[in-house]
A and B are shown apart, each in its own frame.
Chain A
Amino acid sequence: MPHRTFSLFILPSLLAMLLFVALPIGSVIYQSLFIEHEQIMVEVENCGPFGCTTERRVDAEAMAQLRAEEPAGRWNGLGTYFNAGHLAFERIGQIWDRTETWGQFLDQAMNLPFYKALGFTLAYTFIVTPFVIILGFCIALGVNALPNLAKGPVIFFSLLPMIVTPLIGSLVLFWMIDSRGIIGATLQTIFGDPTLSLKASPTLTWVTLFVYGVWHSAPFAFVVFYAGLQGVPKDTMESAMVDGASRREQVRFVVIPYLMPLVVFIALMQLMDNFRVFEPIVGFSAEANATSLSYLIYSDLRGQDTPLFASAAATSVLTTLGVIVLLTPVLIRTWRDFNRKA
C-alpha cells in the first residue's frame, strides 16, 4: 500500500491516539513540574462598633487572575516528585537513620502514601495474575471435560464476573460481605465472632481485593485457555496416547507446552490491567486500608475542593514509568522477534 493511501486510512485513528493519549502524557509531564499558586493574602480591616480588627484573607480576585495567567501554577521543577506525598527521599532518609532492621524500615516506609500505594499495586499485580492463570486453567480443563450440552450455560455464567463493570461487580460483592450481608454474616457465624468484618483490618481488606481480582479476571484466562484446548493438535495428543502417556502426562507434555504461548499472552494482559487497579478500591470503599497508584491520582483530582493537578501529575508520571518497566521485557522480545524476521 503506498504511503499516501496508508496515511489516509490510518489518519483518524492515529490522530485520536496522538491527541488524547500521547498528548496527555506530555501534558502530565508538564503539569508535574509546576505547583499550585501560593495563596495571596490581603489584610482587610473590619470596623465595627467595638473598633477595628484587621483580618488576613485570601484575595480571591488576585488568585483568579493569577490562575488565568498561569493555569499550570508556578514552576516547581522536580520538587513535587521529591515531596512527602511522592518519593519522599527526605523522609526515607530519616526512617533509614531511625530504624534498626529492614523489617522496621519497610514497615515505616510503607506508611508513606506513595509507597503504600505502590506496595499495594505491585502486590495486587503479582499475586492476582498467577492465581488468575491457575484458576482459569483449571476451569478450562473442567469445562472441557463436561458434556457438550452443559458447556454453553457454564460459559455464559462464567463470563459474568468479567463482563460486568468492575465498580458494579465489586459493589455487588461488597454488599454481600457486609456484616449484614449473606457472606459477611455467614463468616461471623462460622468463626463465632460477631465483630468479624472483612473491612476492618488491612490484611483482610487486601485479601478481599485479591479475591475480587481473581474472581473478576479468571473468566478471561478460562476463555482463552478453553479456546486453546480446542486447538491442541489431535495428532500429537493421539501419538502421546499411543506412546503410552497417562492422562497426567498428556496434560503435562502435550497440553501445557501447547498452551504456553497463551500463558504469556494472558500474563501480559493481566499485568497491564492489574497494574491500573482502581475501581475495586472505590467499590469496596477500601481506601483506608488499600490504595493503588491509580487511586492516589484519582483522590488528588477528586478528593479535594480544588484538584491537586501537580501532585496527580507527578504520580501519573511515576505510574507511567512503572508501566514502561513492566512492558520492557515484552518490548525487547517483540523487537528481537521483529529483527530476526527482517
Chain B
Amino acid sequence: MTDTTAADAKLIAPRRRRRSATAKPLPLIALSVGFVALWVIAAAFPFLWTAWGSFKVEADFFSRQNWMNAVTGVQTLRQTGEAFTMDGYEGAWIEQEFWRAVINTAIVTFFVTTISLTFGTLGGYALARSGFRYTFWILIMALIFRAMPHVTLVSGYLLPFFELGIWGYLPTTIIVLVAINQPFTLWMLHSFFLSIPKDLDESAMVDGCTRFQAFRLAVIPVMWPGVITTGLFSFLLAYNDFTVTSMLLTAENQTMVPKINSFLGSTQAEGKVMYAVAAVVSAIAPLFVLIMFFQRQIVSGLTAGAVKG
C-alpha cells in the first residue's frame, strides 16, 4: 500500500490538477505584477540612469537635442574619443577635492555609529529592565525629541558654538549627531532588549554577577543582531545628514552631502555639473552596497518599531 502511494500520486496529480484554493485569478496576478514592475522601475531607474550618465559628458547627459544621446554617448565619443569618460570623477575627486569630504564622512559616520551604539545599548538596556515609572517619561521625552526638526536644534547650537569657539570641527558635529540620533537608538534598542528574556540576565545575577557583569557576560553576547540593525540606521543618519553637517562644519571639514551641495553653486555656473553628478554617484555607491549586504536587517529594523506599537 505505502509503496504505491508515491506512484499513484504522480499518476493522479495531472488529472486532478485544478486551481488550488489559494491560487489567484490570472488578471489579478497580471495587475499586481505590472504594478510592482512599474514601482521597481520608478524606484531604481533614476539611480541607474544617473550612474550610467555620470560616465558621459554634460552635452550627452543634459542633451539639448535628444535624450537618447545619453544612452549612445554621441558627444562623449566626439569630445573624449571614447564612449565612457571618467572626466566627471576626476574633476570631482581630484580637482574639487571630493576625497577630503569622503574622509570626513568616514570619520563622522564611524564615530557617530560607535558612540551612538555605546550610549544607546546602555540606555536601552536600562530602560528595558527597570520597572519604574520614569522609564515611561524618558521614552516619551525621547519621542518628542525624535520629532524635533533638526534645523531648529541647529539654530539653537550655532550661536553658543560660535561663542565657545567649537564651531566647525568634526568632534562637535559628531557629538551633535550622536545626540540627535539617541532618541531613535534608545527606542530601537529598548524594544530589542525587551525581546531578550530577562531570565537571562537575572540568572546571571543570581549566579553571582553584578548588574553590569550580567550585561557584559550574559546580554552582550546575544545582542548583536539588534545592535547591528540599530547601527545600520545610525550609520545612515550620519551618512545622510545634510542639515547639521552643512551648518556646523567649515568648508574644509565638510562631509560628502554638504560638499555636493556646495558644488552646485560653484560648478553649475562653470558648466561642470558633471562633477556634481559624479560626486552624487560616488555617494550613492556605498549605500547600494550597504543595502545589498544588510537588506534583511534594514527590513527588520524598519518594522521593529511598528511591531512594538
Convert B133-164 into 0s and 1s, putting 1 for each residue whose CB lies closer than 8 angstroms to a CB of A.
10010101111111111111111111110110
Chain B residues with CB under 8 A of A309? 155, 158-159
Kindly identify which residue among A20, A323, A330 contacts B180, using a CB–CB cutoff of 8 Å: A20
12 new A-B contacts at CB < 8 Å, known A301-B154, A316-B156: A16-B178, A23-B156, A71-B163, A142-B35, A145-B32, A158-B43, A171-B276, A227-B299, A247-B24, A262-B306, A297-B154, A330-B143
Q: Distance in Å from the Cβ of A204 to the closest Cβ of chain B?
A: 18
User: Which 5 residue pairs spanning A and B have beta carbons closest together?
Assistant: A24-B156, A20-B179, A13-B123, A9-B126, A276-B149
Residue A60 at the chain B interface, CB threshold 8 Å: no
Interface of chain A residues 303 through 322 with chain B (CB within 8 A): 307, 309, 312-313, 315-317, 319-320
In whole Å, how far is A129's beta carbon from the nearest beta carbon of chain B?
14
Q: Is B122's beta carbon under 8 Å from chain A?
A: yes
Q: Chain A's nearest CB lies how many Å from the CB of B37?
A: 9
- Chain A 1-34, CB within 8 Å of chain B: the 1/0 string? 1010110011011101101111111111001000
Closest to A265 in B: B306
Q: How far is the CB of A116 from chain B (nearest CB, A)?
A: 17
Q: Measured between C-beta atoms, what is the minimum distance from A274 to chain B in Å?
A: 11
Chain B interface: which size bin?
A: 35 or more
A185 to B61, CA, bound (A): 12
CB-based contact A20/B176 at 8 Å? yes
For B304, give the chain A residue with the smallest CB separation. Answer: A227
A265 and B152 contact, CB distance less than 8 A? no
Q: Residue on A with the closest CB to B125?
A: A9
Q: Does A213 contact B (CB under 8 A)?
A: no
B216 within 8 A of A: no
Binary CB contact string for chain A from 282 to 317 against chain B (1 if under 8 A, 0 otherwise):
100100000001100110111000010100110111
Q: Is the interface of A mostly helix, strand, loop or mixed?
A: helix
Among A6, A154, A261, find the residue whose CB has the most chain B CB atoms closer than 10 A. A6
Residue contact A10 to B123, C-beta cutoff 8 Å: yes
B1 at the interface (CB under 8 A from A): no
Give CA–CA (A295, B182) in the complex, Å.
Answer: 24
- Chain A residues near B123 (CB, 8 Å)? 9-10, 12-14
Which residues in window 27-85 of A have CB below 8 A to B?
A: 27-28, 31, 71-72
Residues in B whose Cβ lies below 8 Å from that of A25:
148, 152-153, 156
| Distance of A157 Cα from B239 Cα, bound (Å) | 19
- List, sorted by A's number, 30 A–B pairs whose CB atoms are closer than 8 Å: A1-B129, A5-B212, A6-B132, A9-B125, A9-B126, A10-B138, A12-B122, A17-B142, A21-B153, A28-B156, A31-B156, A71-B159, A146-B32, A146-B36, A161-B43, A163-B287, A164-B240, A165-B242, A165-B257, A180-B62, A215-B42, A223-B303, A224-B306, A272-B147, A298-B243, A300-B155, A301-B154, A313-B156, A317-B152, A338-B136
